[in-house]
């Protein structure tokens, strides 16, 4: 019971700090340090746990490896975003998509869907101006535009390797990238289908003559699209097909991008300066330190035993725990780092992993993430699109329920 209360207190402090506008990385480290103090975890204990990991676990599942690989990934995503903007690819991507795909509904969804493959912090604002401009021209109500931009931008979170939660789950469960992709793609599919039905099939005014775009040869649009998209696709293929760490793939893509577009070497330094994000480093460190405290203290087994003795149904725990933590924090990767060590007792690892149950857990995470007012992207959307947060959340509710139902069905039929 004490361990459970200690974890609740640590999470409550995290939420309080976020509400006080403390940067998320610093808030995560403070919360993790508090958890260590409450659980009685000392530096020597942490050292023994780390040594034990190196001796008994594969390299890719050790905390040190996860810290280096996830930090590199998060920082290099910023670099490739800066590189694409510096070269001019980001500005050419949206006109290219509009030229290739004539449907107004499809274009509205495709802009955030494509830009969402580059998960920079606060990155929802990359696609927001394009969606607002396109939507205003055809008369779409602002809260619907905000919901379209938010929902379709977040569809890649379950499967895309540039989101740190994806390689983190793969490492924690000891499964292949392809196996994780094959299960999580069902959640992405459910989210996209829900968005199409709820947000695109209704509320889009009829086409008027002034909506026609200037003609341009399709080869120009296709060239611009491929120039902007290949680095992201290249990284994903290396991860899914060869289990190559996404950080390595994105680094190779950056080098290729700068070389192909003949960016002078003297400008490379200014582009790579985008990696100077100390708060992102603190976020990864704090989340993994929190996980390490739980493992070192034995709190995972104690809390699982407590919840089991309290007769909490495993299905409710698998869905509800990630949902509650992400609803309180508004961030995905720390939620995975905090909750999955508990859930592994029910899910299993390696060839024994029951991926239907894992999909249920991640569907709970997505359900909470899309509806929590703590999520930075929601508050940014409400401000930029000049609409109320409640209207956006209301429009996201049915797609979120659809993803939750999909997770439940997968737990029933795929476990």
> What's the token pair of residue 397?
């509710």
Where would I find the H helices in 88-217?
89-100, 104-115, 124-138, 142-153, 165-173, 177-195
Whats the size of the chain, residue-wise?
415
Kindly give the confidence (pLDDT) of every residue in the chain, 415 residues in length, as a single tens digit, with 9 standing for 90 and above: 788 788 888 888 887 887 788 887 888 899 889 989 998 989 899 899 899 988 887 777 788 888 888 788 778 877 887 887 788 776 676 667 667 766 778 878 888 888 787 776 556 766 776 677 778 777 889 999 999 999 999 999 999 888 888 999 998 899 998 999 999 999 999 999 999 999 998 877 776 655 455 456 677 777 877 777 788 778 778 877 777 777 888 899 889 989 988 888 888 888 888 777 788 788 888 888 888 888 888 877 787 777 777 788 889 999 988 988 888 777 788 889 888 988 998 999 988 999 999 999 999 999 999 998 767 788 778 877 888 888 999 999 999 999 999 999 999 998 7
Contact 127, 86 (CB under 8 A): no
What is 138-152 written as a DSSP string?
HT--HHHHHHHHHHH
Q: Give the pair of three-digit tokens for residue 109.
A: 């969804």
- pTM assigned to the model: 0.76
Domain limits, the chain:
2-413
């Amino acid at each position: 019971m004490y361990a459970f209360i200690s974890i609740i207190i640590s999470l409550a402090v995290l939420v309080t700090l976020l509400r006080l506008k403390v940067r998320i990385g610093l808030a995560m480290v403070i919360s993790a340090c508090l958890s260590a103090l409450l659980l009685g975890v000392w530096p020597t204990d942490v050292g023994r746990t780390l040594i034990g990991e190196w001796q008994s676990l594969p390299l890719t599942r050790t905390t040190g490896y996860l810290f280096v690989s996830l930090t590199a990934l998060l920082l290099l995503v910023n670099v490739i975003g800066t590189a694409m903007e510096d070269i001019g690819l980001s500005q050419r991507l949206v006109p290219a998509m509009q030229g290739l795909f004539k449907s107004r509904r499809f274009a509205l969804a495709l802009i955030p869907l494509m830009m969402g493959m580059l998960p920079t912090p606060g990155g929802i604002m990359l696609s927001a101006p394009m969606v607002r401009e396109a939507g205003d021209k055809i008369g779409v109500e602002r809260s619907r535009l905000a919901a379209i931009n938010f929902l379709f931008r977040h569809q890649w979170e379950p499967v895309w390797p540039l989101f740190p939660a994806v390689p983190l789950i793969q490492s924690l469960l000891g499964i292949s990238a392809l196996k994780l992709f094959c299960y999580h793609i069902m959640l992405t599919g459910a989210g996209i289908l829900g968005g199409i039905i709820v947000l695109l099939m209704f509320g889009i005014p009829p086409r008027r003559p002034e909506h026609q775009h200037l003609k341009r040869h399709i080869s120009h649009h296709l060239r611009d699209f491929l120039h902007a998209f290949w680095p992201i696709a290249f990284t994903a293929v290396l991860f899914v097909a060869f289990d190559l760490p996404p950080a390595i793939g994105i680094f190779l893509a950056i080098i290729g991008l700068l070389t192909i577009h003949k960016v002078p070497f003297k400008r490379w330094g200014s582009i790579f300066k985008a990696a100077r994000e100390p708060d992102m480093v603190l976020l990864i460190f704090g989340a993994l330190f929190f996980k390490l405290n739980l493992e070192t203290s034995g709190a995972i087994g104690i809390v699982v035993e407590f919840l089991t003795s309290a007769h909490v149904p495993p299905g409710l725990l698998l869905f509800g725990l990630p949902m509650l933590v992400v609803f309180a924090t508004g961030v995905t990767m720390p939620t995975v780092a905090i909750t999955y060590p508990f859930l592994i007792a029910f899910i299993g690892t390696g060839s024994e992993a029951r991926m239907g149950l894992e999909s249920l857990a991640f569907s709970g995470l997505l359900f909470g993430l899309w509806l929590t007012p703590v999520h930075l992207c929601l508050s940014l959307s409400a401000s930029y699109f000049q609409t109320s947060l409640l209207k956006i959340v209301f429009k996201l509710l049915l797609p979120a329920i659809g993803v939750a139902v999909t997770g439940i069905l997968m737990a029933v039929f795929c476990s």
